[in-house]
């Protein structure tokens, strides 16, 4: 028996031809026939011939071999309260599958195979039931079912070492669960494998553990924030209408004052010109929640997972999902554009020196850190107590374990790098990458400000680096040129997907879009303040004419990588990767340039609606907490319930509602109070003297 990969990205188990299998059934019939002939009973001979003929065709008409379901969870409610309940993954031995059975080759580097790993099973195991099932086995039978681990070159389970209790539980239950699962698989599917324990939750009749220091700290901080918020709001509303409270903390925490800040309109001409960017952020945040929610729904343990998997047979859907991975590039372009525009505006009104740079960095951190660290504290403390039923393990307990080990990388804005392996708050890689790109871009602007004539060389070097780096990473690591949406990787929230870790997250692989925004901001300043005419430059005219069709071709063709086999590394694959990683950011930057001094069209007028620009101020808080919102909504879905398109759409908009409502609460409770409380201190420390400027 052997394993072969066909042109569709499936592994075919080949072995004996069907005729030889049929002979296994024909031979006993013939032996019986010979005995009958010896008895010279012709009537019986005819009956036996008819029986053998019917038996052979009955075997041929049998249903094809049925693989085990990939989600096999013991009923948690019927598991005794005194029993441990373990989560595990079983790796089946593909070489033991019968002839003709196919499994998707999800690790193929030649094409993207989006299917589940059919030979990897998600398990929930009631230990008490397993003990009952294997109690009658002899030592020899147990030994025969206790299969060794199967070596693979990818991660398919949550590493048990992240849970402190698993050092003991793994030794205690590993062999038992392995034997138990193989016994079940042998009895129903005539196959076996190796089961790896991920986590064992204590019996339900055990008392809840006492609150840890971090949990008490989170509760204390939240209680203090709420108390100060209510007190400040009461003082504010109690003050006479013609008298504004003079206490800074009251103004910082008052709900009325922060609501006024939220709904306030733009104050300067530049803010009025760029107000549509806040509306653009809202649309992008919504699309981001949509794609994340669909991904979470498609990996939920459901009996109709094959139906959900079959939806991905649609080329437009695959292209849509693959393209949506680039939404983050638009955020990078916006970041580079606003940084450049604001820096060049400031350079005309104040000195660009160490104090300016210090104030810029501290204000950036003040915007990022309070909300971010608040949810980091939530993720290393109280969130584990939301694991109240069998579905809560992968949603909260795993996150808590990863964050307890690796939250330091988040706090230092380093969690977008290839280490640590087990990521805390996976979606916050963007905050780390964006902060690193902010530092790179600020350094470039400082050089341009000090040596204005160097801008052309700097920008050209940056463009070449931004094109070459994705191409090199793709070529060196034999990666797919586009985002490979794989259900097999999504089941671990993409934490171990090589494409995500090596090319999607690192800041040095995302410089193109940020640089495009930076250059657009620089040209915006030259056009508005130095009367530069972009239309006079042939390079701009070519970019303006070509960028839209190139973007359409690249993005709409991104789905073909699920249909064609291309051996890697390949030069043209690397070139496609360079285009794919940069084309959307360049397109948005060109759109920003087109809008300079141009009357607002319908799209910009819609994005400038008061509702959208107001919600735009919430998008940072919404981004940080939308992952928690997704997990909370998913937690309320019954384990093993079926998934439908209608339910997925409902799921998406529930998450949007919860995320934006939560974003408003966090904006009023954490984000704005901290900014208003500490910004005056930063400005005072990094203030500059008008007298010194005159001198």
In a domain, 386, yes or no: yes
In a domain, 217, yes or no: no
Averaged pLDDT of the chain: 88
Residues 368 and 510 in one domain: yes
Q: Are 141 and 192 in contact (CB under 8 A)?
A: no
* Residue 531: per-residue pLDDT: 87
In a domain, 62, yes or no: no
Pick the closest to residue 483 from 291, 630, 281, 290 (CA basis).
Answer: 291
- Determine the structural domain holding residue 357 and report its residue range: 273-532+559-687
Q: Which two tokens stand for residue 558?
A: 């991104």
Q: 3-state SS string over 186-224?
A: HHHHCCCEEEEEEEEECCCCCCCCCCCHHHHHHHHHHHH
Residues 497 and 642 in one domain: yes
Q: Are 22 and 60 in contact (CB under 8 A)?
A: yes
Q: Which of helix, strand or coil describes residue 298?
A: helix
Q: Which of helix, strand or coil describes residue 2?
A: strand
In a domain, 671, yes or no: yes
Between strands 120-126 and 71-73, the pairing is parallel
In a domain, 467, yes or no: yes
* Residue 691: per-residue pLDDT: 40
In a domain, 141, yes or no: yes
Task: Taking residues 481-501, report their average pLDDT.
Answer: 92
Q: State how far the Cα of 586 lies from the Cα of 544, in Å rounded to an integer.
A: 10
Sequence-distant (6+) residues with CB within 8 A of 411 are 373, 376
Residues 191 and 301 in one domain: no
Residues 175 and 319 in one domain: no
Residues 586 and 440 in one domain: yes
Residues 565 and 657 in one domain: yes
- DSSP for residue 379: H
Q: Are 444 and 466 in contact (CB under 8 A)?
A: no
Q: State how far the Cα of 206 lies from the Cα of 208, in Å rounded to an integer.
A: 6
Q: Are 292 and 321 in contact (CB under 8 A)?
A: no
Residues 182 and 315 in one domain: no
Residues 197 and 284 in one domain: no
Question: What band does 102 get if pLDDT is binned at 50, 70 and 90?
Answer: confident
Q: State how far the Cα of 246 lies from the Cα of 236, in Å rounded to an integer.
A: 10
User: Which of 201, 234, 253 corresponds to the end of one domain?
Assistant: 201
Higher pLDDT, 507 or 103: 507
Backbone region of residue 414 per phi and psi (left: phi > 0; alpha: psi in -120 to 50; beta: other values)? alpha
Residues 277 and 411 in one domain: yes
Sequence-distant (6+) residues with CB within 8 A of 60 are 18, 22
Enclosing H/E stretch for 273: helix 269-273
* Residue 241: per-residue pLDDT: 66
Which residues are 103's β-sheet partners? 11
Q: Domain count of the chain? A: 2
30 pLDDT above the threshold of 90: no
Question: What band does 619 get if pLDDT is binned at 50, 70 and 90?
Answer: very high
Residues 189 and 328 in one domain: no
* Residue 242: per-residue pLDDT: 60
Query: What backbone torsions phi and psi does residue 100 show, to the nearest 5 degrees?
Result: 90, -15
Count of beta carbons in the 10 Å neighbourhood of residue 45: 14
Between strands 10-14 and 193-201, the pairing is unpaired
Pick the closest to residue 338 from 600, 544, 663, 589 (CA basis).
Answer: 589
Residues 357 and 504 in one domain: yes
In a domain, 596, yes or no: yes
Count of beta carbons in the 10 Å neighbourhood of residue 277: 18
* Residue 31: per-residue pLDDT: 46
In a domain, 229, yes or no: no
User: Which of 149, 167, 201 corresponds to the end of one domain?
Assistant: 201
Q: State how far the Cα of 376 lies from the Cα of 408, in Å rounded to an integer.
A: 10
Query: How confident is the model over 282-341, as pLDDT tens digits?
Result: 999 999 999 999 888 888 898 888 888 888 888 888 999 999 889 999 999 999 999 999
Residues 173 and 314 in one domain: no
Q: Are 183 and 137 in contact (CB under 8 A)?
A: yes
Residue 607 burial (C-beta neighbours within 10 Å; 0-12, 13-18, 19+): buried
- What percent of the chain stands above pLDDT 90? 73
Question: What band does 418 get if pLDDT is binned at 50, 70 and 90?
Answer: confident
User: Which of 201, 222, 239 corresponds to the end of one domain?
Assistant: 201
Q: Which two tokens stand for residue 498?
A: 């090589």
Q: State how far the Cα of 367 lies from the Cα of 353, in Å rounded to an integer.
A: 21
Backbone region of residue 564 per phi and psi (left: phi > 0; alpha: psi in -120 to 50; beta: other values)? beta
In the chain, helix, strand, coil percent, each to 5? Answer: 65, 5, 30
Q: State how far the Cα of 686 lies from the Cα of 354, in Å rounded to an integer.
A: 9
* Residue 686: per-residue pLDDT: 85
Q: Which two tokens stand for residue 225?
A: 């924030």
């Amino acid at each position: 028996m052997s394993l072969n990969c066909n042109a569709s990205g499936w592994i075919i188990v080949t072995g004996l031809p069907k005729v030889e299998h049929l002979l296994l059934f024909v031979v006993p019939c013939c032996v019986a026939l010979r005995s009958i002939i010896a008895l010279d009973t012709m009537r019986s001979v005819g009956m036996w011939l008819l029986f053998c003929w019917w038996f052979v065709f009955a075997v041929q008409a049998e249903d094809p071999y049925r693989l085990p379901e990939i989600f096999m969870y013991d009923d948690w409610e019927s598991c005794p309260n005194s029993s441990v309940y373990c989560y595990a993954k079983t790796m089946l031995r593909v070489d033991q599958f019968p002839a003709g059975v196919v499994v998707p080759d999800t690790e193929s580097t030649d094409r993207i195979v989006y299917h589940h790993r059919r030979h990897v099973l998600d398990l929930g195991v009631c230990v008490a039931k397993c003990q009952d099932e294997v109690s009658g086995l002899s030592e020899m039978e147990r030994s025969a079912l206790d299969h060794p681990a199967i070596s693979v070159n990818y991660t398919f389970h949550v590493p048990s070492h992240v849970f402190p209790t698993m050092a003991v539980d793994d030794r205690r239950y590993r062999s038992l669960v392995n034997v138990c699962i193989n016994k079940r698989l042998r009895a129903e599917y005539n196959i076996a494998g190796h089961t790896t324990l991920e986590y064992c939750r204590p019996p339900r009749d055990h008392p809840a553990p006492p609150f840890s220091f971090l949990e008490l700290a989170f509760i204390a901080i939240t209680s203090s924030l709420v108390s100060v918020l209510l007190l400040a709001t009461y003082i504010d509303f109690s003050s006479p209408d013609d008298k504004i409270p003079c206490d800074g903390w009251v103004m910082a925490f008052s709900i009325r004052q922060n609501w006024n800040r939220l709904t306030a309109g733009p104050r300067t001409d530049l803010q009025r010109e760029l107000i549509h960017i806040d509306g653009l952020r809202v649309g992008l945040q919504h699309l981001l929640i949509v794609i994340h929610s669909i991904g979470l729904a498609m990996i939920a343990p459901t009996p109709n997972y094959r139906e959900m998997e079959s939806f991905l047979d649609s080329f437009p859907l695959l292209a849509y999902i693959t393209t949506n991975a680039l939404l983050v590039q638009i955020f990078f372009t916006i970041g580079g554009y606003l940084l450049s525009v604001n820096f060049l505006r400031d350079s005309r009104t104040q000195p660009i020196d160490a104090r300016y740079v210090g104030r810029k960095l501290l204000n950036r951190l003040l915007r990022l850190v309070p909300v971010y660290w608040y949810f980091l504290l939530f993720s290393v403390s109280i969130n584990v107590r939301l694991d109240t039923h069998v579905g809560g393990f992968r949603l909260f307990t795993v996150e808590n374990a990863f964050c307890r080990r690796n939250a330091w990388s988040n706090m230092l804005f380093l969690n977008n790098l290839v280490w640590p392996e087990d990521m805390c708050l996976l979606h916050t890689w963007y905050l780390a990458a964006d902060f690193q790109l902010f530092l790179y871009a600020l350094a470039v602007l400082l050089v341009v400000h000090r040596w204005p004539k160097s801008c052309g060389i700097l920008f050209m070097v940056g463009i070449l680096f931004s094109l070459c780096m994705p191409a090199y990473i793709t070529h060196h690591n034999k990666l797919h040129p586009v985002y490979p949406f794989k259900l097999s990787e999504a089941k671990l929230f993409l934490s171990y997907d090589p494409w995500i870790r090596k090319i999607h997250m690192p800041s040095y692989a995302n410089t193109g879009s940020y640089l495009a925004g930076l250059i657009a901001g620089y040209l915006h300043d030259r056009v508005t303040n130095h009367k530069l005419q972009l239309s006079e430059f042939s390079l701009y005219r070519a970019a303006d004419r070509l960028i839209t069709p190139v973007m359409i071709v690249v993005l709409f063709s991104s789905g073909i990588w699920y249909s064609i086999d291309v051996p890697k590394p390949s030069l043209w694959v690397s070139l496609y990767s360079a285009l794919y990683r940069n084309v959307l950011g360049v397109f948005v930057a060109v759109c920003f340039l087109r809008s300079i001094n141009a009357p607002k069209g319908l799209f910009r007028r819609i994005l400038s609606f008061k509702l959208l620009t107001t919600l735009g101020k919430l998008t940072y808080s919404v981004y940080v907490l939308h992952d928690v919102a997704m997990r909370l909504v998913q937690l309320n879905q019954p384990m093993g319930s079926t998934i439908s398109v209608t339910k997925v759409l409902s799921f998406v908009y529930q998450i949007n509602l919860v995320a934006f409502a939560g974003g408003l609460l966090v904006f009023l409770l954490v984000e704005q109070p901290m900014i208003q409380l500490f910004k005056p201190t930063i400005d005072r420390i990094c203030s500059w003297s008008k007298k010194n400027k005159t001198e």
